Chains A and B, each alone.
Chain A
Amino acid sequence: MKTAVARLKDTDLTAVEHAREMGLDDAEFARAQQVLGRVPNKVELGCFAAMWSEHCSYKSSRTHLRRLPTTGPRVLVGPGENAGVVDVGEGWAVAFKVESHNHPSYIEPYQGAATGVGGILRDVFTMGARPIAAMNLLRFGRPEHPKTPALLSGVVKGIGGYGNCFGVPTVYSSTDFDARYDGNILVNAFALGVLRSDAIWKGTASGVGNPVMYVGAKTGRDGIHGATMASDSFSEGEEQDRPTVQVGDPFKEKLLMEACMALFAAAPESGGLLVGIQDMGAAGLTSSSFEMASRAGSGVRIDLDRVPTRERGMSAYELMLSESQERMLLVAKRGCEEAVRAIFATWDLDCVVIGAVTDDGMVRLVKGGAEVGVLPARALADDAPRYQRPTAAAPAEGEPRAPLGRVGPTVRAHVTSPSLAPKSWIYRQYDREVGAGTLLDGTRAPAALVRIPGTHRAVAMALCCVGRWCSADPREGARRAVIEGVLRTSCVGALPIGATDCLNYGNPRVPEVMGSFVEGVEGIREACLALDVPVVSGNVSLYNATDDRAIHPTPAVGVVGLVEDFRPALPRDAQTGDTVALLGWPAQGTSLDLGRVRRLAELVRELRVAGAHVDAQPVLEGGLSAALVELARRAGTGLFANLPAGTDVTDALLSEDGVGAVVVVPPDRLQLVHERAQRAEVPLEVLGALGGHQVAVAQQGTQGGAPLFEWDTEALFAELEAVVPRIAQGARP
């Protein structure tokens, strides 16, 4: 079919200059010309640039991501959809995903973080799942950096503001501070929802003649070019030139979610009203329409004049690339338009037919009665460019350890450092209880535990990564992110059943960065295979660099686990008189043994399910000392630990290279723990007990058994709790 497509408008720039400005390189521009058989106009170029941006196309990462294990008996939907879905039994399933919102959060911390939460919630409820939990992983610059206080306060308020208003409990948060994130913070948001395992919705535009409908908020000129922005590095001082960020409206999103739930459940006798649905996230209408058509092998025709707008005179280009929040694109069954509209009208939301599904594989954009863009869906979506970028080994950057002085002061400075200090100030700003399903959150346990409504099943979750490990060894660092998630969820009695990853790296055109990315994927692969955890969803965030200084490689891994009956696993809280014991193996080199991790995870899970421990903490970041202090803080009591003779005491307290977990055991269960540990062939060392008003550590045979240090709990806990608020207030240390 011949089409007279509008020519480029701004005649002072040639098409290739336009393309460069939008982020397409010359080879990609040539490829776009080849795809169309002509020079694309400005609207079309905008679609190419958005769809072929790193953010939408995964062009540098896709070939590597294919190596991740993504299947398993419980996996119902793997990567490629809005979120992954895993079966949790009794006819229920959970949908979850983690996604980055790093760049917007640096420019405008409150709204950037808030819309990051909004986006990930939409990804989850688009699948048909009602969100029941959210988590986040935040990485800020060094505490004394002048921007850190405002970024920390703004991001945390933004996450709380959106999640609390929407009504999803934010149950787990991992926050760290490091100079490597000075000009490029990380805000990774995770959401999890529940759905019936036979009622999963996908983003597909099939059935010629079916109506394409626009639902949700109106479109404005906000966030245009967000997707291409996410695929670009910053320079200091450049922030002001960036396009307008989006402002979110959590109450509208709540309405949108309820309307979608009603839509999914409508007209069951005739198989429902809906064919497919997709969130308008990055690159808005462009990504949703191209991806839905490409998945179904169909085409769509969209009449841009029908798109609801909140500003006058929006061009086709602006309509296609706006990233206004709280919008969805859906394909309904023909004849069901009125029924769909009635559902959205109930929730006070716009719902308009803006086009129809076609069979020619093309996305046709119509404005003012004329076609202003005609593009093949598949070529822009699934057949986007893929690059095998050159890689090089990244030089290992071990952060030198502080010179060790006397044990007491050294360990005290260590456990009260911003990395290890408790994040209660952050948690307090999150509603962790809304929905009444939260059994444990990250301030009270090593992982969060949230009930599947109406059952005694619960899902455990944690979101993990230690960036400096990844700078020291990108593969081992990534393995440890998985290991940490598996151990944390196992500690609350859950069997890990799936993972999601958010791979935050620098500029992929730098071979050392690409090298650490590939190693990171390999590390996740090794650990997930060894520990039986399929990766069901994820996100890649590249170009996290300021003035060519990349962040620590930060592959955040969210692990989700299942507790089939949470009742026996939560007999009571840890209390005075409980035994403190260490399970596992001390350091034997920097590469953790995955076989041992698996045995340890199985043992702590089995013990928890049997009610044989009431709290536990993996020994990872910060070593044994951090685990002991955390357990004492959670119990609100003192703790005495007597380390075995013969080991170097600083090593025993600070090493991060062992495979271990500290468990808190009620006295009448100690025998059971001994037996099970022996049977599992996991070493067990009883260290001491909870109680008293001091955290004290001694070593058998050293100083005649007198404590190496003893800290008053009141002062210790106060010092710990003051660390993060002080950073937020901008007080100099």
Chain B
Amino acid sequence: MRARVIVRLKPAVLDPQGEAIERALQGLGFSGVKNVRVGKLIELDVEGDAGLVKAELAAMADKLLANPVIEDYQVEVAR
């Protein structure tokens, strides 16, 4: 089944990339833009029972896909 892992910087962590995008957007005239945060989306096919797959994806995120010191992640499995 298709699964997605969304990785975001924790809310307290500075996001220089997000700030750069925010400034650039404002520079282009999109004046209403605020609080830009950049994360990443990882899509993958995994086999197995949906519940087990979720636990496995969480383990993957903890070990490799996310940096738990500065990032949070969210796991989604397609039904």
Contact = CB atoms under 8 A, between A and B. Distances in A.
Contacts of A217: 14
Contacts of A245: 69-70
Interface stretch (A49-57, A247-255, A465-473, A709-717): A247-255
Interface string B60-78: 0000000111100000000
B12 interface: yes
Interface string B40-79: 0000000000000000000000000001111000000000
Contacts of A242: 69
A249 B18 CA distance: 11
A108 interface: yes
Interface string A107-128: 1100100000000000000000
A240 B68 CA distance: 8
A240 to B, nearest CB: 7
B16 A222 contact: no
B69 A249 contact: no
Contact of B14 (A251, A310, A348): A310
Contacts of A325: 14
A324 B69 contact: no
Contacts of A251: 16, 20
B32 interface: no
Interface string A207-251: 000000000010011100000000000000001101011111101
A244 B12 CA distance: 8
Contacts of B15: 247
B70 A249 contact: no
A728 to B, nearest CB: 18
A108 B70 contact: yes
A399 interface: no
Nearest to B19: A249
A44 B16 CA distance: 32
Nearest to A239: B69
A311 interface: yes
A314 to B, nearest CB: 10
B14 A249 contact: yes
A320 B9 CA distance: 23
Contacts of B68: 240
B8 interface: no
Interface string A309-328: 01100000000000011000
Contact of A244 (B10, B16, B19): B10
Nearest to B20: A251
B69 A247 contact: no
B29 interface: no
B13 interface: yes
Contacts of B23: 348
B66 to A, nearest CB: 12
Contacts, number: 46
A648 to B, nearest CB: 51
B12 A249 contact: no
Contacts of B9: 247
A244 B67 contact: no
Interface residues of A, number: 23
Contacts of A111: 70
Nearest to A107: B69
Nearest to B67: A108
B14 A221 contact: no
A217 B19 CA distance: 11
B63 to A, nearest CB: 12
B46 to A, nearest CB: 25
Interface string A354-380: 000000000000000000000000000
Interface in B1-43: 9-16, 19-20, 23
Interface string A620-636: 00000000000000000
A356 B14 CA distance: 28
B70 A324 contact: no
Contacts of B20: 251
Interface in A240-273: 240, 242, 244-249, 251-252
Nearest to B10: A244
B11 to A, nearest CB: 7
A310 B22 CA distance: 13
A247 B13 contact: yes
User: Chain B CB within 10 Å — which of A111, A244, A245, A311 has the most?
Assistant: A244
A246 B9 CA distance: 12
A311 to B, nearest CB: 7
B25 to A, nearest CB: 15
A348 B23 CA distance: 10
A325 B10 CA distance: 16
Contacts of B12: 220-222, 244, 311
Contacts of A240: 68-69
Contacts of A252: 16
User: Chain A CB within 10 Å — which of B14, B15, B23, B68 has the most?
Assistant: B14
B15 to A, nearest CB: 7
Contacts of A348: 23
Contacts of A248: 14, 16
Nearest to B68: A240
B67 A247 contact: no
Nearest to B12: A221
B13 A249 contact: no
Nearest to B13: A247
Contact of B16 (A108, A221, A239, A249): A249
A221 B15 CA distance: 13
Interface in A679-715: none
User: Chain A CB within 10 Å — which of B19, B20, B67, B69 has the most?
Assistant: B69
A246 B14 contact: yes
Nearest to A218: B14
A217 B11 CA distance: 16
Given A108-B67, A244-B13, A249-B14, 15 more contacts: A108-B69, A108-B70, A220-B13, A222-B12, A222-B13, A242-B69, A244-B70, A245-B70, A246-B14, A247-B15, A247-B70, A248-B16, A249-B16, A251-B20, A311-B11
Interface of B: 9-16, 19-20, 23, 67-70
22 contacts: A108-B67, A108-B70, A111-B70, A220-B12, A220-B13, A239-B69, A242-B69, A244-B10, A244-B12, A245-B69, A246-B14, A247-B9, A247-B13, A247-B14, A247-B15, A247-B70, A248-B14, A248-B16, A249-B16, A252-B16, A311-B11, A324-B14
